[in-house]
Structure 1
């Protein structure tokens, strides 16, 4: 990525066709996508080879939605236009920070790894999951703070300008967004056996608390008169794309609206997923409790029946007539004639 915006390669006006026709290959994204998808599919194949089942929905969520979305926004027109339009950059970051981590977590890759890894690597993975570092990094209040402060630090510091000027910082920012989102969403979804899982009411509270922060950040960006990225976007107008690029401030207001709207939309969807999980978990727990009570009642009924049978048997034995002592006597009395 060039340091001078005026020298940026010409891109045609943004449209749905150019989003899928203008590709910008990022080496880190390509290698990471191929490596992660390959390992996941290898794990699924290992399970099926030994006769075990793995839900197709989890594979679709992880490979199709999670890694597919990751590669789409880091390799398609999203990547090509992300340095030309703040609104595209914002949409890209929302996908990386919210949609991708949630879809990856729903794919349960940790569970898959624990079921397919050999004994030694499995012990290593369990040691990592149970380590103090993992417990600290997955501590819900800490992950919440990291999640809500990352976009503020990105858009209101020199970090954003560095990300559009340096391809390395740009790619590492993408990885950072996914990791922070994963640390926040993974324990809250609670599908994998990772540390940091809490009760469902607290999970719902955490998900709802993200909504006002997204809204406040979006409104703040929409109301800004200072351009994010400094003179980066105005200088793009001096280059070949100046004929079609929108006013930088107007595009910045659009970016704030995207953050507000998409953040609340995805946040509400996440709340719905958590609430559905809670209902299903409660129903399963109620069913288990009913089975336990039925089993306990059946045992008590059998014990009562056995006790009643034993009591009846004992009563029958104690009340049986003695053949010798209890037999009536046949006493004959001689009648004496007067």
Structure 2
């Protein structure tokens, strides 16, 4: 397979003037964070909180900025490598050079991230850097500070990118590195200031949306500038505006929550919000200028890379400057959840509008909008896609939307029984419906690659041919994740820890949704035409998880030890006098909601099995009638030959009786 840019899309040489402007922007960014560090060193500490010394603060600022610059630079180089095209599943020669540069930048990213695992928890907890430098104290501070864990994950991803850049030239490898890099910066984003105070659940969700649009925007700007082709510039121009607008909306929600009603001009944190808003306006003006003049490689795209450096400097400063929200009093429940729940659930409260899960709402809208757009595109390309799959996909996400906007979500965060109702729904029912939508097959049906671009179908084929993808989606791994994750989360201290943080609770449920999708894709999915398991083995896989679901539910129901005790005893919902009795109800709900979807899966599998056998029989009959299949004739000829041999043997035996 080859999908390389055409000669008409030849790369241009990078402008020396723009390179100097980018270097000047990087120098200015470091001067800016140095000045921020000096300013923080002379400000009084927050009430009842320790403040780190100015050296620790400065090291944290510099390491933070360096890691972000190195990460975006590496991801941008990977984008340029991926845009260089596919050659039998591998990067082109030019793409390989960009990948090597990405590996060098990833080394900087790795070193700064490692430094941040020491400097960040020291700064956050108001102690000197020397306090975290011993192995024992480093380990203690690491697990006490989620932001330090985020930087540890960032270091691990950066190291993986370094290894990949030196050991591989597979296109899929760098696509996975890019996705992992986005997830690393996402983890850093959601463990910062947005985790504090009233409405921090919405601010955290907004930070997720912001990062999932801003980081791709930044890396695409750098990558298209490095690629230096008209095709790359036009591709970037098409996606820049929606990414920019969504990122700006996410930043606005974060600013609203963190400012806590204080005017932006009245606090240093607010001033940095205004700076980022100004950068967004300049970015929008740059996009508009390209829209008028035409998207061409060179300075117009490189300007966005310079703006990206300015944005990262402002983001680093914002992450270190205390926001007005830190001065607002909060209850224990607000500290953990971001909101207060004082009354118990009723049927009316559970099914009517409650506190919405902002992230889920955005995911639902994006998933349905993407699928409908791709479905219509496939029809326009003359590849009509089944309507039933569209209905199934939409049903999966509408069910998710129901969970996200009703009282079910709100009460699932404070009451174990309703948590398990939501958990079992997103772990079983939603994935079953989503799998029946066959989204990967739709990607292929809607793919129509343009010259100079790697098409979605070609990229997906390269991913599915890669070893990491095949391992992650193998039946054994899917089974182990689906069954093992239940016990590893709920019967260890992990559950209580995950429930204390909104971002961790979201991650837990999305992980359960993903493991459910991977498992049921093995059973009733249509996205694996070349790797389908025998139907009998599929049935065996379904039956094999039933005992584990039963054991899991019975263990919850009969346990005398409170699951998530630290979390539930701390928030102490006033309408639940007996947490063990509540846990018993959760076990009953788990048992019921765990078995019913499995029987539906078995019914769907039986229907697919019947259709498959019927199709094989019809194909065999048609081939026999047309003469294309002579297997039956061969079989009949074999039987006739055996009969002839038997008759011959009988005659010979009969003649031997009369011989002297």
- Shared fold (TM-score, shorter chain, > 0.5): yes
Gaps of 5+ in 1: 300-338
| 1:158 matched residue in structure 2 | 493
1:71 equivalent to 2:401? Answer yes
- The counterpart of 2:608, out of the listed 268, 274, 277, is 277
1:98 shift after superposition: 0.7
Q: Is the 8 A contact 1:134 1:195 kept in 2?
A: no
Give the count of matched residue pairs. Answer: 294
Q: Choose from 209, 218, 222 the match for 2:557.
A: 222
> 1:212: Cα distance to partner?
0.6
CA drift at 1:148 = 0.5
Equivalent residue, structure 2, for 1:191: 526
Cα distance in 1, alignment partners of residues 608 and 629 from structure 2: 31
Alpha carbons of 1:194 and 1:11: their partners in 2 closer, same or farther (altered >3 Å)?
farther
Q: Secondary structure of 1:198's match?
A: coil
Counterpart in the other structure of 1:60:
391
The answer as to 2:435 corresponding to 1:114 is no
Larger RCO (alpha carbons 8 Å, 6+ apart): 1
- Equivalent residue, structure 2, for 1:306: none
What residue is the counterpart of 2:351 in the other structure? 20
Residue 297 (structure 1) shift = 8.5
What CA distance in whole angstroms lies between the structure 2 residues aligned with 1:297 and 1:215?
50
Q: 1:149 to 1:298 in 2, by over 3 A?
A: closer
Q: Contact 1:12/1:18 (CA < 8 Å) preserved in 2?
A: no
Could you tell me how far 1:50 is from its partner in structure 2?
4.0
Partner of 1:312: none
Q: Is the 8 A contact 1:222 1:253 kept in 2?
A: yes
What is the distance in 2 between the residues matched to 1:46 and 1:19? 38
Taking the aligned partners of 2:577 and 2:610, their CA distance within structure 1 comes to: 47
1:47 aligned partner: 378
- Residues of 2 paired with 1:132 and 1:3: CA distance? 48
Are 2:425 and 2:593, in contact at CA under 8 Å, matched by a contact in 1? no
Task: Summarize deviations over 1:56-80 as a string: whole Å, max 9, x none.
Answer: 22111101x2111222223321210
RMSD of the alignment, in Å?
Answer: 2.3
Equivalent residue, structure 2, for 1:146:
481
How far apart, CA to CA, are the structure 2 residues paired with 1:197 and 1:11?
Answer: 50
The 10-residue stretch of structure 1 (2-11 or 190-199) with the greater mean CA deviation from structure 2: 2-11
Distance in 1 (CA, whole Å) between partners of 2:462 and 2:473 is 15
State the distance in 1 between where 2:589 and 2:564 align.
18
Deviation at 1:194, TM superposition (A): 6.4
| Counterpart in the other structure of 1:129 | 464
Aligned mate of 1:97, from 412, 427, 443: 427
CA distance in 2, matches of 1:116, 1:172: 30
TM-score, length-normalised on structure 1?
A: 0.81
Structure 1 residue 200 and structure 2 residue 535: aligned?
A: yes
The equivalent of 2:617 in structure 1 is 286
1:278-336 superposed Cα distances (whole Å, 9 cap, x missing partner): 1110011001101111111899xxxxxxxxxxxxxxxxxxxxxxxxxxxxxxxxxxxxx
TM-score (normalizing by structure 2): 0.42
Q: Bigger radius of gyration, 1 or 2?
A: 1
In the alignment, does 2:335 pair up with 1:4? no
- Whether the 8 Å contact between 2:496 and 2:564 is mirrored in structure 1 is yes
Residues 161 and 6 of structure 1: CA distance in aligned 2, closer, same or farther (over 3 Å): same
Per-residue CA deviations over 1:89-115 (Å, capped at 9, x if unaligned) read 001111111111111110111111101
* SS of equivalent to 1:32: helix
Residue 336 of structure 1 is matched in structure 2 by none
Q: Deviations for 1:178-209, whole angstroms, at most 9, x for unmatched residues?
A: 11111111122131136753111000000011
How far residue 246 of structure 1 moved from its aligned partner, in angstroms, is 5.2
Q: Note the C-alpha offset of 1:274.
A: 0.8
**Is the contact between residue 225 and residue 249 of structure 1 (CA under 8 Å) also seen in structure 2?**
yes
Gapped regions of structure 2 (runs ≥ 5): 1-200, 202-329, 450-454, 631-660
Give the stretch that moved more between structures: 255-264 or 97-106: 255-264
The answer on 1:267 being equivalent to 2:602 is no
Is the 1:62–1:104 Cα contact (8 Å) retained in structure 2?
yes
Matched, 1:34 2:369: no
